[in-house]
Amino acid sequence: MAWDEPPEEPAYQDRIIDPDKLAPLPPDDDEQFDASGLPRSWRLEVLTSQIKRGDEKFSESGFSFGGLWETADWGSFSLDATAFQSDQGRNGGSRWIGTATIWQRNLRFDGGWRVDNGLGVLNTPLTPLQRDQYRFFLPSAPFSGLVSQWENTEDERRFFAGFGQAGVFSGARVVGFDQAEGQVGTLGSQWRWSPDWTGALAVLATDGRIVPDELGSGQYQDGRTEAAVFSTGWAGTQDEAKLHLHSSRGYLGDAFGAWTDIESRRGRYTYNYGAFRLEPGLAWGALPINNDAQGLHFRTNYRHPRWTWSVGIDQIQSVSGNSFEGTYANAFLRYQARANLGVGGSLNVRRSETDTDFSTRWFADRRARWGITRIQLDQAHTSERDDWQITLDQDLPMQTGSRLTVSGSIAVEDQDGVGRTDTFTLAALGGIELTDRISLDGNLRWIRGNGPNAYRGTDLNLSLNWRLASNWWLTATAYNNRGEQRSPFQLDPLAPPDVFVGIPRERSIFLSLRYQRQAGSSAVVLGGMPGTAAGNIRGSVFLDENGDGIRSAAELPAVNVTVILDGRYSVRTDSQGEFEFPRVAVGAHTIEVVPDNLPLPWFLDEQADRRAVEVQVRDTVRVDIGARRQR
């Protein structure tokens, strides 16, 4: 080797670092983590609020408590409880109300059995075969009692039973439960009787029915209902078929219903079709369902990386001759013109012997450096009114930990005998980290209208969150809402009926002090194994008015809805539709939404109610899940 030549470098060799010699990750912020025992977390929150609802003023003060516990032999436990005093009493004076729900999930037995047990304020369950339907929906009934659900993963058998006291959810800023005089009882089973065939049977009896009161909330009245649904389903490689037989008797009379759901998949095409006959007075539990209708329905869907479209038609006749008779048709098209540009639209037509009503939607989505922009035009025409609305929605790119969506809309409502009302709206939705310890979350909507149905004012749901110390949070919330109204673009005659009238205008100031702590082996975090690092899962459940899967500034939250992590740990959404699972193991997880308290006619389809998420070290994964309104 010449003196002026550099020495040869040794050949590269992979160096494997022994995981046992890795330095432990530092604790989050200044939190002193207690690593003894199995993982567990708990929170205690003191709450107070001042509320004006309609013409009534009242206050609510109390506390809430929640927690998650992992056990070695008895599965995992989740608890949500509230207790507060309200001077809104229907008979005058103050009263204490609240809720308490404890779930024991993932309790294992020999033979492949897994058991989930619930105690407290619950909603009646359904078997998967009866819950996952294409055209018709059975609502759940709230009650205070217990429920047990058994599942055998080896032969796919399921059983559930529940019994308790009927009631309705109450409270303005804090969720409570008003017990009624009647009872609720339910039984159900699902089984696989051959490799391709599945059967299910569910019965539900409710002593009372839920109707709107003078404030637009729910109240129980006399009206006993007993109902049973038998279902059977066949599943092949490309085709599925379901038959449902429904019988009920009670305050609406005796009635019978039957409907079929058939799905065929051929490449990129999916076909859904079936027949139905729902007699007048058909009921399920304490809430109304669609009835007095018979006919046929058909849908075809096509999915391609660039093209997505669907076409559907329903031919409907009234069983009694006193409800809608005619044709309902809809169509949807979306074209991905470029990687950053998509356009599309939809059309809904409802035609009877006397009238033809229609609604349309046209939209364009563009992704650029400044975020995702959507422009949308909605229009509706009926025999009594003409409505249109144009909306510009902008999802802005933000720094990690912050998010912001802004939108503006112009709407015109022209109703016969009333006149024309013009409305201009500006809205913002998001969360911003103001400092390391202070954040602002919520939505703000400014509305200015002119005309006979005009509204002027500001709707808001803003929360200022201040982390006082490692385990202490102070939250101040200001809330103002003019109330909910039925969408003028809703035309589907088979959509589940709106249960309640529009909620009156409400204003409130809400203050809470929360203590939250986690403990247990830092290696055994939620869903993790020894040596696992952790991240967080946050998200929301909302009412996806435009059906694009993205929460816009003007869309409302879904409150008090159960969200389950990996089938083991459950929480409920808050007043902004938000939920959180802190300190979740790195890796793949499943988020499932139980549509127990979604208002009709909102529902979650099979693609929305269960999401797979991937958690990274010290990262926060956000999951926004939109409920769709049936059109």
Q: Which uninterrupted H or E stretch holds 50? A: strand 40-53
Q: What is the mean pLDDT of the chain?
A: 83
Phi, psi of 192 (to 5 degrees): -105, 110
Cα(446)–Cα(456) distance, rounded to whole angstroms? 8
Rounded distance, CA 53 to CA 210, Å?
21
Cα–Cα distance measured from residue 144 to residue 178, given in angstroms and rounded to the nearest whole number: 9
Per-domain residue ranges for the chain?
534-631
Which residue type sits at 25?
L
**3-class secondary structure, 131:** helix
Non-local (6+) Cβ contacts of 92 within 8 A are: none
Half-sphere exposure (CA, 13 Å, Cβ side) for 257? 28
The answer to whether the CB of 535 falls within 8 A of the CB of 619 is: yes
Averaged pLDDT, 482-487: 59
Asked if residues 628 and 598 have their Cβ atoms less than 8 Å apart, the reply is no
Q: Does residue 565 carry a pLDDT above 90?
A: no
CB-count burial class (<10 Å; 0-12, 13-18, 19+) for 64: buried
Confidence tier at 4 by pLDDT (50, 70, 90): very low
Query: Across 87-174, where does the E strand assignment appear?
Result: 95-109, 113-123, 142-152, 157-170
* pLDDT tens sequence across 16-27: 544 444 444 444
Mean pLDDT of 442-446: 87
Q: Would you tell me how many other CB atoms lie within 10 Å of the CB of residue 39?
A: 24
Q: Note the Cα 14 to chain centre separation in Å.
A: 48
Q: 500 near 212, Cβ under 8 Å?
A: yes
Q: Is the peptide bond before 601 cis (omega within 30 degrees of 0)?
A: yes
| Overall average pLDDT of the 304-324 stretch | 92
Cα angle 610-613-619, degrees, rounded to a multiple of 5: 145
What pLDDT, in 10s, does the model give residues 249-258? 988 889 999 9
Alpha helices in 476-525 (DSSP H): none
In terms of average pLDDT, the best of 4-13, 96-105, 474-483, 606-615 is 96-105
Euclidean distance between CA atoms 229 and 192, whole angstroms: 17
Q: Is the pLDDT of residue 183 over 80?
A: yes
Given this model, what pLDDT does residue 500 score? Answer: 44
Does pLDDT of 360 surpass 90? Answer: yes
CB neighbourhood size of 425 (10 A)? 20
Interior/surface letters 128-158, b for 16+ CB within 10 angstroms, e for the rest: ebbbebbbbbbbbbbbbbebbbbbbeeeeeb
CA angle 134, 562, 525 (to 5 degrees): 120
pTM comes to 0.81
Q: Is 499 exposed, middle or buried (0-12, 13-18, 19+ CB in 10 A)?
A: middle
| Domain covering 534-631, topology | Immunoglobulin-like (2.60.40)
Q: In terms of Cα–Cα distance, which of 101, 103, 104 is closest to 81?
A: 101
Backbone angles phi, psi at 276, to 5 degrees: -150, 150
What average pLDDT score do residues 466-491 get?
Answer: 77
Cβ–Cβ < 8 Å for 119, 101: yes
pLDDT at 30: 46
| Residue partners of 382: CB distance under 8 A and separation at least 6 | 355, 357, 491
**Centroid of chain to Cα 425:** 25
Per-residue confidence (pLDDT) for residue 148, from 0 to 100: 97
285 CA to centre of own chain: 20
State what percent of residues in the chain have pLDDT above 70.
Answer: 83
Residue 623 has what pLDDT? 87
Residue 485 has pLDDT above 60, yes or no: no
Q: What is the mean pLDDT of residues 371-400?
A: 90
Cα–Cα dist 618/585, whole Å: 10
Q: How many residues are present in the chain? A: 631
